[in-house]
């Protein structure tokens, strides 16, 4: 009997152990499946965030490549050359800008204390077109007021030409870029209609690529023109500001020379 009871006890322990293992086995896959689902969602969110971070530049690059190397390369060249001219002009104009009020006061004090030569020395030590105009007027002040005025007017025209140097190239690139884009559009449409004529039927998939290339060249041409137009307007406004300072300073110089002659 003891052997029978021991055998029955061992069988009961074995059955309980098997049930426990089976229950745990059912719980573990459930937990694992929920964990895997959570990790999948997190990875998808990270991939979406990474796609959004590099989305603009990546899409721009892809669209540029799809536009074709022919017209897109020329439009890109217009953008690069236009930006080079714009940056050079902006640097030059910023260096040409001076504090005209301060310069006027310094020249006036130098005229009162040391005469024409002292005022010329102040102009020599100051950069910018306004100081150069002052120097030319003071250099002719020994002859007559009329000679000084003519020198100021003549040299003012020279300085204005220096300020507007290469700006015409910028306006040329602004005009050419969208024209090249429109030309690419026309050529792309011609190619699309040639395919329709060759095949004999109208299929969207047949001409979609040519139409896409045609529209992309127009888009990039317009983007180039818009970017360069912003720089062009800034440069023109800067030139107008410097020219106004030059004209106002010229009048002030003649008045100072008239007072100094008295």
Distance between CA atoms of residues 13 and 10, nearest Å: 5
For residue 131, being part of any structural domain is answered with: yes
Q: Does the global pTM surpass 0.75? A: no
Q: What is the pLDDT of residue 155?
A: 87
Pair 209, 107: CB distance under 8 Å? no
Half-sphere exposure of 104 (CA within 13 A, CB side): 15
Residue 238 lies in a domain: yes
DSSP character at residue 83: H
6 within some domain: yes
| Pair (40, 136) in one structural domain | no
At residue 258, the pLDDT reads 81
In the chain, which residues have pLDDT < 50? 1-33, 35-36, 39, 41, 43, 47, 49-51
Number of separate domains in the chain: 2
Same domain assignment for residues 18 and 121:
no
CB 141 within 8 A of CB 57: no
Does 66 fall in a domain? no
For 36, the domain range is: 2-51
Indicate if 33 and 116 belong to the same structural domain. no
Same domain, 134 and 251: yes
Q: What is the pLDDT of residue 5?
A: 40
Using an 8 Å Cβ cutoff, are 129 and 157 in contact? no
Statement to judge: residues 8 and 90 lie in one domain:
no
Looking at residue 188, what is its pLDDT? 75
**What was the pLDDT predicted at 101?**
86
Do 6 and 117 lie in one domain? The reply is no
Question: Is residue 56 in a domain?
Answer: no
Residue 19 falls inside a structural domain: yes
CB 107 within 8 A of CB 134: yes
Is the domain of 45 the same as that of 167?
Answer: no
Residues 168 and 41 in one domain: no
Whether residues 125 and 223 fall in one domain: yes
Question: Interior CA angle at 193 toward 188 and 194, to 5°?
Answer: 95
């Amino acid at each position: 009997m003891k052997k029978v009871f021991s055998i029955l006890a061992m069988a009961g322990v074995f059955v309980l152990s098997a049930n426990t293992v089976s229950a745990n086995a059912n719980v573990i896959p459930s937990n694992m499946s929920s964990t895997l689902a959570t990790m999948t969602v997190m990875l998808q969110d990270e991939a979406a965030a990474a796609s959004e971070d590099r989305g603009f530049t990546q899409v721009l690059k892809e669209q540029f490549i799809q536009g074709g190397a022919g017209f897109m390369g020329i439009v890109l060249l217009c953008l690069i050359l236009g930006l080079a001219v714009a940056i050079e002009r902006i640097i030059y104009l910023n260096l040409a800008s001076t504090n005209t009020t301060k310069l006027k006061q310094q020249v006036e004090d130098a005229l009162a204390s040391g005469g024409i030569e002292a005022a010329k020395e102040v102009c020599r030590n100051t950069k910018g077109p306004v100081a150069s105009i002052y120097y030319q007027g003071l250099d002719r002040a020994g002859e007559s007021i009329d000679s000084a005025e003519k020198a100021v007017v003549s040299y003012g025209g020279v300085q204005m030409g220096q300020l507007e140097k290469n700006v015409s190239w910028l306006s040329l690139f602004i005009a050419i870029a969208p024209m090249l884009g429109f030309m690419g559009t026309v050529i792309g449409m011609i190619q699309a209609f040639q395919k329709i004529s060759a095949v004999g039927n109208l299929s969207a998939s047949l001409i979609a690529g040519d139409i896409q290339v045609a529209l992309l060249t127009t888009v990039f041409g317009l983007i180039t023109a818009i970017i360069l137009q912003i720089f062009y307007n800034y440069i023109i406004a800067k030139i107008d500001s410097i020219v106004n300072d030059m004209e106002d300073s010229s009048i002030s110089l003649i008045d100072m020379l008239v007072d100094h002659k008295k």
